[in-house]
Chains A and B, each alone.
Chain A
């Protein structure tokens, strides 16, 4: 990156909130010397260096891998989860997607089940609790070589993997008008429902994961499919249909009962 590349200036309108109790507000910042090759997070780094130099509190944002696989970095950029690019996380979004002098509004995910911790950082442990309710297999699946002894049809592997690619970023919840976690939950249910290792706990899993999802206060699915468009991993709403089938089947055709009590409201 040569110095002459750092030729963009942006006006950011960033949500600032000291802690989960604070009211929070938007603050405008002018960020100079942005290179079009920078990622969105690197641009925020530049902003933070600027803020630190001025003796101000830097903007808190979540990130970890910075290579699109951990799902930590999601923010709302001009009203779109992870910004304007398809199947791209915020850390993989490049500043060349923006125009010099553009105004960019940056907000945290908004959902009751994702309370703001600070600035752009939200608490996504509700996803962990949904996973804890059944998003795993507790049967012994043996050693690595045993994997090859379980025949799984190619198309089932592929379809299961299409669901397993979910990185748990929460963009589906953030972009849904109902703040619904159906795409996330369905990805986790669908991943294991199509594999023999997931089969023994199949009905129990879907009943418990849905019960936990409801208890966390996410909204319901109204099939507006904004989640699918916002998902950086390209998880399809086909998995939501599979979750629906799994749920009805588990409710009416299996002896399993949910072990998680949905909250009263």
Chain B
């Protein structure tokens, strides 16, 4: 098995793991967002979806283990490669200027230059999100006896959560806008015919993630009626 450890230790192999786990997590984001969007369809649709999801304990377990594994690998690889990448240049330049024509943003703020920081903000958002929705940490009273849709609506409209969820969603959107295209390149998926499309899709995906996931908090703030399910919830109880 030394070939496998050799592969996993090499720079190319580690990036490959990073790309595969990243692609899997992107797929998860799509599924997750599709589920969330049911909130706009109505409380019943969302509650039904949540119920279906939780009635399938085994499948949910497998999905959670896979997700946790992917996150752990992705984050581990991110740290190990970033540390190495930074230390590959001990003495830095006095002046750095990009030569890419397509750099619209200053070098220090572009998506590909800020993967670590957007990833960390995304991770913080994820941890808060799991604590809120899965563990209901600190929400025990507010959420007692509520339907799933109403729980979601209560959490996303909380003031601190609005800040964290919007910031987290935007950071995640920026992260995947580079990440998706980058992962395709890393697994060797590059061809003059479709690479421009891949990069375009990557950017659109970033916008969808940022807008999609942050929309719930924003809508709860500006159009409180849309996500207020107190009525329907009490009816269905």
Chain A residues with a Cβ under 8 A of chain B: 13, 26, 76, 78-81, 84, 86, 105, 107, 110-113, 175, 177-180, 207, 210-211, 213-214, 217-226, 228-230, 237-238, 240-245, 247-248, 251-252, 257-258, 262, 265
Contact = CB atoms under 8 A, between A and B. Distances in A.
Given A86-B99, A210-B11, A213-B11, A177 B6 contact: no
Say whether chain A's binding surface is mostly helix, strand, loop, or mixed.
mixed
A92 to B, nearest CB: 15
B10 A211 contact: yes
The 5 A-B pairs with the shortest beta carbon distances in the complex, nearest first, are: A241-B190, A245-B188, A219-B88, A79-B97, A79-B95
A95 B193 CA distance: 38
Contacts of B81: 220, 222
A121 B220 CA distance: 61
A113 B88 CA distance: 8
B89 A111 contact: yes
B134 interface: no
Given A79-B96, A241-B189, A257 B2 contact: yes
Interface stretch (B12-20, B56-64, B146-154, B208-216): B12-20
Interface in B79-105: 81, 84-101
Contact of A111 (B11, B88, B97, B189): B88
A248 B110 CA distance: 29
Nearest to B77: A220
Contact of B89 (A84, A112, A226, A245): A112
A230 B99 contact: yes
A230 B100 CA distance: 8
A257 B6 contact: yes
Contacts of A218: 11, 88
Interface in B101-145: 101, 110, 112-113, 115
B12 A78 contact: no
Contacts of B10: 210-211, 214, 247, 262
A257 B6 CA distance: 9
A223 B181 contact: yes
